[in-house]
Structure 1
Amino acid sequence: MTLLTNWTESHTQSFQKDIMSFGHDLNSTGLFTDDALIALLDKHPSHMLDVCTMGDPNHALYPNKFRTGDFRDAGGKVILDAAKAGKVWVNVRRAMNVHPEYKEVLDAMYAGISERTGNKAFNANGGILISSPVAKVPYHFDKTETILWHIRGQKTMYLYPLTPDFIPDRAYEAAVSNALEDDLPYTPEFDASATVIDLEPGTALTWPMNQPHRVNNKTFCVSVTTEYSTVASGRRNAAMIANATLRAKFGANPSYWEASPRERYVKAVLGRVIKKVGIAHKVTVPDLVTFKLDPSAPDYLVDTDPYRRDF
């Protein structure tokens, strides 16, 4: 199965170093039609399915922060219809790994990249994103290497410089200390420095590890997002765990950006030790449900009193 359509030597040279797009043919698999997505949503484990909506778009630092929804009374068709008509963002986490027909495609995707880059060490996880025409993914970063494979609809990606002005040490440390959060503080002034890319079906996009970004949909969209860890991502995250722990528990004021390569390496080793012995700084924030899906309601959304997600 050949799924990469226009990879060149230039792509090989730029991979993992620069913002880079290339072509794919995932739509030809038939796994991303409405009927296929409804069947997938009906069978996917509920604890690996996130149905969210966007919060206050006017928040000073965290606009469009996601809210968690309860979808248990809704079947796959209602979830898909809500994504088409409402203000809903759906993440079918690890769908590309859990279900054999999708796993076959994920393996083919990365076999193609391995063949062209010579990297045989990929161990990718793949989720499927299904999102409304008005969906906005807030300003954030990914803790691993990431590729977005766009399949249906149009969306715009905004990618920002990988510097402490756009991803401060404290914000990175907060994210690696919290399993639920990877949002970053954002102000509209950042946009003057953004690289803006309009994504069409059949386009994949990748960018340097940890580069901050946000996404605005133009239409109903379906994409696959894949992530994989590398030695570099493991070292950087471990160093940030060390810095977060030193800051929170010992009053230190470390900086990853100002550290020398040797200091970063030492911090990475320290971070692994801290995590192994169980003293790493952690932020425990419950995942609170604040709405339910209801096909009879406007935008399919009904607000609820907050309660802890246990499904």
Structure 2
Amino acid sequence: MTKILTEWRPDQMTAFGRKPMLLRHRLADHPLFSDAALERLIEATPRERFHVNTIAREETDPRKWREGDMSGLSGREVMAAVARGNIWVHLQRVHEAFETYDDFLGDLFADIERHVPGFRSYKRSMSVLISSPNMNVALHADVPGQSLWQVRGRKRVWVYPPRAPYLPQNKIENIVLGRAADTDLPYDPAYEAGAETFELLPGDWTTWPRNAPHRVRNADCVNVSFTTEHWTNELRDGYVVDYANALLRPLLGGRDLARATTGPDFWGKLALTAAHKGWRKLAGRTVAPLTIDFRVDPAAEMGFRDVAPYQVMK
């Protein structure tokens, strides 16, 4: 039997991935997102596959995004800390933890591909987000194609055009190359005039063009949502160009380079990217350390307590 998980208007089917949009889904009561399932998922997610973050509720500088730890706590303790505090729990690649999430992810993308003409995706991934009332998620830009699916609670999402000044070309190049974090972006309150904004309720999901910067603010309620990431040939080609341009920029005086994904220049950049990635693989993966400066604590007023900073590899 064909599973219908998402709802579409005809104009959304043709604009998917081309512009920010708000759509509907039928997953708000799915058992994979019950409290019991989330508690089990928290406990099953290894240290290298989760982030715990906080930022002041009125802070707009993404560089103030802080990294914490929740190792050794039960899922119930973490959920209690989220409910009373100001933390954001990001469980990455949950489809690799349990087969049920992997099956769910396959069904979800099969449903999208049935609706969007010509859309074929691969290297799909899924992460679960559990976040506190009024939590402020820093401005950031993702590299793959991405969608945000609201399961519980209410939040507002601001999506900015993937171009300067919101996304300077050198910034996305550094993010693609791994020289910078996805939050290493400029922010100016004047940017709000160029943003598209959506309020997400249970049963809503939103998606946006490749690399579009975005930020999120929860309403006064616990939020449960999940993100999906995917690649297509078109997304891959854009990634190749940004990767190669990042390598070429220092050699060409720091100027912006063409981002075309066709023609001889593109094939040259494809060769350069492949060669550099091959060299990186032979040289061994370079992992940037994370600086941890707080620990989740369900007894603390904000759901966490500060600790002396230390670093972990992720």
Tell whether the structures are fold-level matches, with TM greater than 0.5.
Answer: yes
State the SS of the aligned residue for 1:186: coil
Offset of 1:305 from its aligned partner? 1.6
Matched, 1:89 2:91: no
Aligned amino acid, residue 75 of structure 1: S
Match of 1:235 in 2: 237
Match status 1:145 vs 2:134 = no
Q: Does 1:106 align with 2:109?
A: no
Task: Report matched runs for 1:179-194 at 5 Å.
Answer: 181-183=181-183, 184-194=185-195
Equivalences for residues 57-206 of structure 1 within 5 A: 58=59, 62-63=61-62, 65-117=64-116, 118-178=118-178, 181-183=181-183, 184-206=185-207
Contact 1:133-1:217 within 8 A present in 2 as well: yes
Residue 297 in structure 1 maps to residue 296 in structure 2 = no
State TM-score, norm by structure 2.
0.88
Retained in 2: the 8 A contact 1:146–1:227? yes
Residues 144 and 159 of structure 1: CA distance in aligned 2, closer, same or farther (over 3 Å)? same
The one of 268, 271, 282 equivalent to 1:269 is: 271
Any idea what the Cα deviations from partners look like across 1:34-83, whole Å, max 9, x if unmatched? 22211221222232122111269557xx3464211121132111111111
Which is worse superposed, 270-279 or 89-98?
270-279
- The residue aligned with 1:307 is 310
| Matches of 1:200 and 1:74, distance apart in 2 | 29
In the other structure, the counterpart of 2:36 is 35
Query: Structure 2 counterpart of 1:252, which letter?
Result: G
Q: Is the 8 A contact 2:154 2:223 kept in 1?
A: yes
| Cα distance in 2 between the residues matched to 1:157 and 1:163 | 18
Structure 1 contact 180–285 (Cα < 8 Å) conserved? no
The answer to whether the 8 A contact 1:97-1:126 is kept is: no
C-alpha change, 1:17 and 1:58, in structure 2 (3 Å) is closer
Provide closer, same or farther for how the CA distance between residues 136 and 301 of structure 1 changes in structure 2, counting only shifts above 3 A: same
1:260-286 deviation line (CA, Å, top 9, x unaligned): 954455334322222223399x99642
- Count of aligned pairs between the two proteins: 307
Structure 2 residue matching 1:22: 3-state secondary structure: strand
Contact 2:39-2:75 at 8 Å conserved across structures: yes
- 2:246 maps to 244
Q: Which amino acid aligns with 1:294?
A: D
Counterpart residue type for residue 136 of structure 2: K
How many angstroms apart in 2 are the aligned matches of 1:271 and 1:254? 19
State the AA in 2 paired with 1:80.
M
Give the SS at the match of 2:156: strand
Query: What's the % identity of the aligned pairs?
Result: 30
**Offset, 1:30:** 1.2
Q: CA deviation at 1:25?
A: 1.5
Question: Which stretch shows the higher mean deviation, 140-149 or 1-10?
Answer: 1-10
* Superposition map of 1:5-16 within 5 A: 5-16=6-17
8 A contact 1:134–1:217 mirrored in 2: yes
| Alpha-carbon offset, residue 116 of structure 1 | 1.6
What root-mean-square deviation, in Å, do the aligned CA atoms of Structure 1 and Structure 2 show? 2.6
SS at match of 1:181: coil
How many angstroms apart in 1 are the aligned matches of 2:261 and 2:246?
18
SS at structure 2 position matched to 1:27? coil
The whole-number CA distance in structure 2 between the counterparts of 1:190 and 1:267 is 32
Q: Distance in 2 between matches of 1:298 and 1:194?
A: 33
Q: Aligned partners of 1:154 and 1:27: how far apart in 2?
A: 12
- TM-score relative to the length of structure 1: 0.89
Tell me, in whole angstroms, the C-alpha distance in 1 between the residues paired with 2:135 and 2:266: 37
C-alpha separation in 1, matches of 2:82 and 2:19: 32
Query: Is residue 239–residue 270 contact of structure 1 (8 Å, CA) maintained in 2?
Result: no
**SS of equivalent to 1:151:** strand
Q: For 1:28, what is the secondary structure of its paired residue?
A: coil
Specify the code of the residue in structure 1 equivalent to 2:108: M
Whole-angstrom CA distance in 2 between matches of 1:122 and 1:137: 27
